[in-house]
Chains A and B, each alone.
Chain A
Amino acid sequence: MTTLGLAPVFLIIVPLTAAFLAVVAPWPRVLVIGAVPLMLALTVALVMSVWRDGPISIAIGGWQAPLGIELAAGGLAASFLATTTVVMTIIVLVALPAFGNRHGETRTGWAFWPLAFMMWAALNAVFLSGDLFNIYVAIEFLTLATLALVALEGKAGTIEAAMRYAIFALFGSLAYLLGVVLLYAAHGTLDLDLLAAATKGDSASLVGAALITAGLAAKTALFPFHAWLPPAHAGAPAPASAMLSALVPKASFFVLVQFWFVVMPEAAGPLFVQLIGVLGAAAILYGSLLAIRQTRLKRLIAYSTVAQIGYLFLVFPLAGGDSAAQPWSAGAWTGAMLQAIAHALAKGAMFLAAGLVVEAAGHDRLSAVHGLARTMPITAFTFALSSVTLMGLPPSGGFVAKYLMLTSAFASGQIVWALVILTGGLLAAAYLFRVLAPTFLRSAKARADIGAVRQALPLTLAATSILLGLLSAQPFEFLQIGRPQAATGGLQ
């Protein structure tokens, strides 16, 4: 195995090691300085390796599937993993002052770091796994770390949010597990590629697929399973909110995409893909409308996540089922994946910026942003740039993503989805202007001063989400590596 071939396993080993050390000793600064450059280097190595040599597959312990567990990384997994690396890097840097344990170990200062590094490891484990049961363990790992982070503030409201999340998450994981059990009972393997090769018209496979979908949809907070998300994401400390909203739903969505586009594409009937599309559309509209009505900054951003996750599910009617073989499917599929990446970058930036605003103002009512353009111009600019992506305005990554989905919707004659995408953009503009417009008001002076460097860190994420739109040709090509139905369309 070459050194490049080692990158995937070390992308799991390094954050786990950091998490172990973080349990023992409260020295986050040393861990961040040690782990982050390594993770960046490993991510570059993984992306280069996939770019040059195509999808990677690694049999852990030397045991091939079906006996052992195989890791796999194509363009999609590598892209999600790289996004995770970028977002997590910025988050841990922003989190250092708040959880730095500078005056001796505190409860939150200790607990945050093992949880953050374990979450990082769990995300990478999900993106790299090629085995249904291993994905179950990795997703549980992720869920339990997330639960602990949601409850970290220790207030009644945040603990209640964690319990509500737990109810959905526990139900979701049992449904997923039961689906996996039925698939194993029918086919005697848990490996994604081996399952893809098996013929699956039997009742156990179909019921299993339905259960897996329901379980993952609950974990991704797809409408109508969304009720847990806003209190959980808004109640956590800002760096945790950023991880939760930007990255965690993407993990279960990623597994759902793997399942329906790699393992069982033939089972995606027209009724099923339309149903998922309707739920996605409902999420876009309902999430946006509720976001407009929120009076608290972090709640508004959290409801925006409900809406933005809805777009991801339009990939099913636009690129799944009967659309899979059509020329527009590549555009729709890539658009949805770019939406996931662009949203991760923009939402990470927005929650981190919101955290700084709350810290400066001392509260999280919407009025906290009054006069931001004068008092914290860098943060105001961060809000503006990430809003551009969330609204889908050019030249952002969100624009390219929604443009690709829009053109596919028109090409396939599914005008309803096009209307939903356009309406969603308008509604996003409506709720985001509630944040952006008051930044130009005159207001009382902020209570705390936030340094320029801490403000600039979220800005880099927002700027990356714009860059994703400007340089979208390479990401588009990269996402196609290892995609089952090779790209037939491209960027116009």
Chain B
Amino acid sequence: MTGLETSTIFAYCGAALIGIGIYGFLVRRHMIRRLIAFNVIGSGVFLLFGATGARQPDLGVDPVPQALIITGLVVALAATALVVALTVRYAHLTKRATLREDLPDEQGGS
């Protein structure tokens, strides 16, 4: 795909969003920020999916990616909701919203 059609522009935009999200996911430690990054990657994947399904403007957008994206959005929301609840509960218990970075079990188990 090359050129300046709507589909091409948004397909590459999706690729860029994936990169931005990955950076955020790697750099951020706060779980809520990681969830934002996760959702940015996810929407980048969806945008790329939808845009590659719109390569033939006269046919309209391929309905199969559209349906799968709606499914994917709901699954991403579900995952986000569970991790949010885990984070809030974890903060109740530890006053932290970040994971410890050392792995205690790799030093011989506690």
Contact = CB atoms under 8 A, between A and B. Distances in A.
A160 B99 contact: yes
Contacts of B71: 133, 137
A283 to B, nearest CB: 14
Contacts of B106: 227, 290
A45 interface: no
Given A174-B38, A177-B72, A178-B45, A163 B108 contact: no
Contacts of A290: 105-106
A194 to B, nearest CB: 13
A159 B86 CA distance: 6
Interface in B9-66: 18, 25, 31, 34, 38, 41-42, 45, 48-49, 52-53, 64-65
A412 interface: no
A177 B45 contact: yes
Interface in B65-86: 65, 68, 71-72, 75, 78-79, 82-83, 86
Interface string A161-175: 011101100110110
A357 interface: no
Nearest to B35: A170
Nearest to B69: A181
Interface in B87-109: 87, 89-90, 93-94, 99-100, 103, 105-106, 108-109
A133 B108 CA distance: 40
Does more than half of chain B's interface fall in helix, strand or loop, or is it mixed?
Answer: helix
B102 to A, nearest CB: 11
Contacts of A164: 99
B109 A296 contact: yes
B75 A174 contact: no
A170 B81 CA distance: 13
Nearest to B65: A184
A234 to B, nearest CB: 8
Given A174-B42, A178-B45, A299-B109, A185 B52 contact: yes
A36 to B, nearest CB: 28
A462 B46 CA distance: 45
A140 interface: yes
Contacts of B25: 171
Interface in A259-318: 290, 293-296, 299-300
Contacts of A174: 38, 41-42, 45
Interface string A141-154: 00110011001001
A204 B83 CA distance: 31
B105 A299 contact: yes
A173 B108 CA distance: 30
A163 B30 CA distance: 12
A355 interface: no
Given A147-B82, A185-B52, A159 B41 contact: no
A154 B25 CA distance: 26
A197 interface: no
Contacts of A151: 86, 89
B109 A293 contact: yes
A230 interface: yes
A177 B69 CA distance: 11
A230 B105 contact: yes
A295 B86 contact: no
Nearest to B67: A133
Contacts of B72: 136, 177
A170 B83 contact: yes
A181 B38 contact: no
Nearest to B71: A137
Contacts of B90: 156, 159-160, 163
Contact of A163 (B45, B49, B83, B110): B83
Contact of B79 (A140, A160, A163, A299): A140
Contacts of B100: 160
Contact of B99 (A140, A163, A170, A178): A163
A429 to B, nearest CB: 19
A249 interface: no
A167 B78 CA distance: 14
Given A137-B71, A230-B105, A166 B45 contact: no
Contacts of A295: 108-110
A227 B106 CA distance: 9
Given A137-B75, A171-B25, A181-B52, A148 B82 contact: yes
Contacts of B78: 140, 144
A184 B87 CA distance: 35
A231 interface: yes
- Nearest 3 A-B pairs (CB), nearest first? A185-B52, A294-B109, A156-B93
Given A140-B79, A184-B49, 18 more contacts: A133-B68, A140-B78, A144-B78, A147-B82, A159-B89, A159-B90, A163-B31, A163-B83, A166-B79, A170-B38, A173-B79, A178-B48, A184-B52, A185-B53, A290-B105, A294-B105, A295-B108, A295-B110
29 contacts: A133-B71, A137-B71, A140-B75, A151-B89, A156-B94, A159-B89, A159-B93, A160-B94, A160-B99, A162-B86, A163-B83, A163-B86, A163-B90, A166-B82, A166-B86, A167-B99, A170-B79, A173-B79, A181-B45, A181-B49, A181-B52, A184-B52, A227-B103, A227-B106, A230-B105, A231-B105, A294-B108, A295-B109, A299-B109
